[in-house]
Amino acid sequence: MTIPEQATSSPEPLLKVTGLVKHFPITKGLLRRQAGAVQAVDGISFDVRPGETLGIVGESGCGKSTMGRLITRLLEPTGGKIEFEGKDITHLGVAGMRPMRRDVQMIFQDPYGSLNPRHTVGSIVSAPFKLQGVTPEGGIKKEVQRLLGLVGLNPEHYNRYPHEFSGGQRQRIGIARALALKPKLVVADEPVSALDVSIQAQVVNLLDDLQDELGLTYVIIAHDLSVIRHVSDRIAVMYLGKIVELTDRKSLYEAPMHPYTKALLSAVPVPDPRRRGAKSDRILLKGDVPSPISPPSGCRFHTRCWKATEICKTQEPPLLALKTGHQVACHHPENAEDQAPDDVVLLSAREAIEIVSATPKSAEAEAAAPLTKGEVTQDAVVLAEAETTEAEPAEAEPAEAEAAEAEAAEEATTEAEATTAGSDESGSDEPGSEGESAPPRTSGDITKE
């Protein structure tokens, strides 16, 4: 590809990540000698600007959660640099990170596993104050009740236990805890993936409202492209521990440049009734995601890419920023002048994908009332979710996905415990019995665009 002029990076990002690496060692034998490493995150660089939402998307196991834990310093990086407001926090210890914890918070994937079932909601949400030795104006209880109200929960439920709440409400408790210390950056790891689709829209709207109200900056990790589309200003696509494409939402969805992004997007139906009847081709990637223990040489996607040539096998494409700000790591990018490679496409590449023509929906869908620009209803999200499931038979096996979820939940519990450690109240107050409070906005109203 012709290397375009590099874009200048935006001034003073809130978070700056440079060449971040996390390799989990694999040990063998009695002496626990290192026999290899899981290259979970392998040299990623990006900025997060104040007030924006950066979405991180990619298949299961590509390193999204590891990246989230690295930037919130719940994991020690193997290499690279993390700067927050210009300060190097890459290797800060627990004591060094304590003041930063106020500014950088994490919302965990599993609203069940991330809350200690033995603690009351009041105790859970007040833990950050106790850990930091901060007494808010008016006292901790009053502030916790204000926070519960802010996330759409009934402040009177201060003495209830997590099991007395629904999944969506528990996620709100996790959000209230993350917001307690008025953080600047919130990293949300799959904040809605454990929730019913109908509740997802409520939580997404809540995050959106809180961002406007409190001026938060988000890094939102998800594997659901329909959710990521509606929450993100910019989106980074990850594949096997690397960022392969990073750009603003519009460019990514309208003109994806990396073949992997193109394949991911082609599997997601457009949640627009006017276009639902239109025939579309979907790219199904064949074969499994390679192991992060011994990733493919050159471009890590070359074993599944239909455009792969000899250079793709041997030379890793760097993530280059184009003049437009669009960053892509590919020797033969889509939507570029020289996208058709002169080099001979590898034999294996010709069988890397299967093109499936989607069956047109009923004529009624086509006749449905048009939506106004940018308006996406909860139905659309539900529909996108349902159709995505149908359209992706090549997704990871359910058992595998479940195991990964369970593992993530377990880790989230440990981390949440760590976050709430130090708050030793037994939570012995009687739980209340009132009904559930209403969310601050109606569901069905995701209006980021």
Ligand X SMILES: Nc1ncnc2c1ncn2[C@@H]1O[C@H](COP(=O)(O)OP(=O)(O)OP(=O)(O)O)[C@@H](O)[C@H]1O
Q: What residues make contact with ligand SF4 under the rule CB under 6 A?
A: 258-259, 299, 301-302, 305, 307-308, 312, 317, 330-332
Under the binding rule (CB under 6 A), the answer on residue 191 touching ligand X is no
Q: Which is nearer to ligand SF4, 53 or 251 (CB)?
A: 251
Q: Which of ligand X, ligand SF4, Mg ion, none does 73 bind, CB closer than 5 to 8 A by kind?
A: none
How would DSSP label each residue in 92-136?
--HHHHHHHHTTEEEE-S-TTTTS-TTS-HHHHHHHHHHHHT---
DSSP secondary structure letter of residue 70: H
* φ/ψ (deg, to 5) at 309: -125, 180
Lookup: tokens for 359: 């069956």
Q: Which of Mg ion, ligand SF4, ligand X, none does 269 bind, CB closer than 5 to 8 A by kind?
A: none
The closest alpha carbon to 323, from 4, 90, 3, 30, belongs to: 4
| Residue keyed to tokens 């109908």 | 198
Q: Which of Mg ion, ligand X, ligand SF4, none does 38 bind, CB closer than 5 to 8 A by kind?
A: ligand X
Q: How far apart are CA 153 and CA 56, in angstroms?
A: 28
CB of 247 to ligand SF4, least distance (A): 15
Q: Rule CB under 5 A: which of 53-82 touch Mg ion?
A: 65
Q: Rule CB under 6 A: which of 276-315 touch ligand X?
A: 292
Lookup: tokens for 32: 């626990």
| Residue keyed to tokens 């990850």 | 238
CB of 24 to ligand SF4, least distance (A): 25
Q: Rule CB under 6 A: which of 192-231 touch ligand X?
A: 223
- Of 62, 150, 179, 228, the residue at the interface with ligand X (CB under 6 A) is 62
Q: Is 439 left (phi over 0), alpha (psi -120 to 50) or beta?
A: beta
- Of 20, 48, 52, 66, the residue at the interface with ligand X (CB under 6 A) is 66
CB of 306 to ligand SF4, least distance (A): 8
- Of 278, 404, 440, 444, the residue at the interface with ligand X (CB under 6 A) is 404
How would DSSP label each residue in 302-338?
TTT-TT-BHHHHHSPPP-EEPTTS-EE--SS-TTSTT
What residues does 386 pair with on adjacent strands? none
Order of strands across the sheet with 234-239?
A: 104-107, 185-189, 217-222, 53-57, 234-239, 242-248, 327-328, 320-321
Under the binding rule (CB under 5 A), the answer on residue 39 touching Mg ion is no
Q: Which stretch binds ligand X (CB under 6 A): 61-69, 117-125, 176-184, 260-268?
A: 61-69
CB of 317 to ligand X, least distance (A): 21
What residues does 357 pair with on adjacent strands? 281
Q: Rule CB under 6 A: which of 1-60 touch ligand X?
A: 24, 38, 40, 58, 60
- Contact between 325 and 247 (Cβ < 8 Å): yes
Contacting residues toward Mg ion, per CB under 5 A: 65
Residues forming contacts to ligand X in the complex (CB under 6 A) are 24, 38, 40, 58, 60-66, 223, 292, 404, 408
